[in-house]
Amino acid sequence: MKSLIDEWKYVAGSKYLRLIFIGPLIAALFFGLMFSKNQISESHVIVIDEDHSSYSRQLISKINASPYMNVTNVYSSRLNPETLLANEQAVAVIMLPKELGQHQQQGISTNIGILMDNTMPSGLTGIRTAIQEVIQTENVTLSMTRLLQKGMDAETSKGLASPLSLQQRMLFNPTTSYVGFMVVGFVNIVVLMITTSAAGSIVPRLRQEGKLFANGKSPWQIWVRSVPYAVLTTISLLLCYGLLKQVGGMRFEAEPYLFIIPLFVYAFALSLMGLLIGYNAKDVSKVNLRTNFVLYPSFLATGIQLSPLAFPEFFQISAWVLPMNWLNRLIRGMAFRDGALTAYSQELGALLMIIGVVSLFIGLLVLREMKKPEIQFSESVSA
């Protein structure tokens, strides 16, 4: 208990207390505002209309009326699409061929081309679905009109023209907002960097001050010093998520008093991992370099920018040893999908397993360090 009280006193007067709250909150506020309007509701498109008919103009109006597309320019003659897309004023070029209106009246099939700039895939959000919906709706309308002209009733015409209709619904992130995955990931990375560096500095700091075993030689005296960092990290993350919900419109369905449980388990696992990483560091300045072995894999392989399912199975399994992998899964599941705490026993179990394994290694390192003076003393006596 003396070690815990001593560490709380140190934390209260250290830079960590300010960093763990100010750093993540600034990141949450900055990125939350930056990406709060990130979803591109209307992608800019250019239309090349070679038909110049009333039907082509009607079709352009329907394309422009789509909530996913905004027609910025209409050209009457064919131009090089690469030239039109060069200045990033549009993400797609739609080409309406000659005799489009005439073919429509005659019932002849016509190919309409769409050329999309996939340099930045995020700019094409929804545009594929939107153009397919416009064309499909137009096909059904034209087919039903012709069937009605031939004397069929409306229901029969609809059944022949469109026997199946698809209704789709986007769950959990209907607006494809970046706040729910990318911004949360940035905040988590900032917290990870601060916490692992601070917790990793515990043993090198105590060793330099000559206080490593001042309160006893039990591994418990070292292990318990990670508690203040876990508690403050938990509070900081919860505040950041609340700020993102208010500023960035982040979806957060879980009850905070329930989500704080897995959040504390994660923060405790992260603090202990930082303690283990920095245990053998010669001085505090070496700890930050070591934390990169956790920082970069956590950024790349735990589902911040890409779903972990996009990686080869080897990398998915390798991410299991990273606490942030399980935090991201808990956020996507319990926080965003409003899952019950009992439904995520696998994620909580993995974090508890990390805590157990890391605690075992910390205990072995403490016991080994405790034996060093005894070995040196026995060697000096035998000499």
Q: Identify the pLDDT of residue 381.
A: 39
Determine the Cα–Cα distance for residues 50 and 52; give it in Å rounded to an integer: 6
Q: Report the C-alpha dihedral over residues 328, 330, 336, 339, rounded to 10 degrees.
A: 160
For the chain, 383 residues long, give each residue's pLDDT as a single digit of tens: 788 888 898 999 888 999 999 999 998 888 888 776 655 567 889 999 999 999 899 999 989 988 788 899 999 888 888 888 877 778 889 999 898 888 888 778 888 888 888 876 666 767 877 888 888 888 888 777 777 777 777 677 666 666 656 666 767 776 677 788 888 989 999 999 999 999 999 999 998 888 888 888 888 999 999 999 999 999 999 999 999 888 878 888 888 899 999 999 999 999 999 999 999 888 888 888 889 889 988 988 888 877 787 788 888 899 999 999 999 999 988 888 877 888 899 999 999 999 999 999 999 999 888 877 654 434 343 44
Determine the Cα–Cα distance for residues 64 and 45; give it in Å rounded to an integer: 9
Q: Identify the pLDDT of residue 199.
A: 94
Half-sphere exposure of 250 (CA within 13 A, CB side): 32
Residue 330: C-alpha distances to residues 187, 241, 245, 261, 348 (Å)? 15, 13, 17, 11, 9
**Coil, helix or strand for 159?**
helix
Q: Identify the pLDDT of residue 80.
A: 84
Find tokens 């919906």 and name the residue.
133
Determine the Cα–Cα distance for residues 158 and 160; give it in Å rounded to an integer: 5
Helix-helix angle 227-247:2-12, to 10 degrees: 40
Q: Among positive and negative, which fits the CA dihedral 158, 161, 164, 165? A: negative
Q: Among positive and negative, which fits the CA dihedral 17, 23, 24, 25? A: positive
**What are the start-end ranges of the H helices in the chain?**
2-12, 15-35, 54-65, 81-84, 100-106, 127-149, 154-161, 182-200, 202-209, 219-223, 227-247, 256-277, 287-301, 313-318, 323-330, 345-382
Q: Identify the pLDDT of residue 111.
A: 87
| Residue 99 and residue 105 in contact, taking contact as beta carbons nearer than 8 Å | no
**Coil, helix or strand for 114?**
strand
Determine the Cα–Cα distance for residues 258 and 96; give it in Å rounded to an integer: 56
pTM as predicted = 0.78
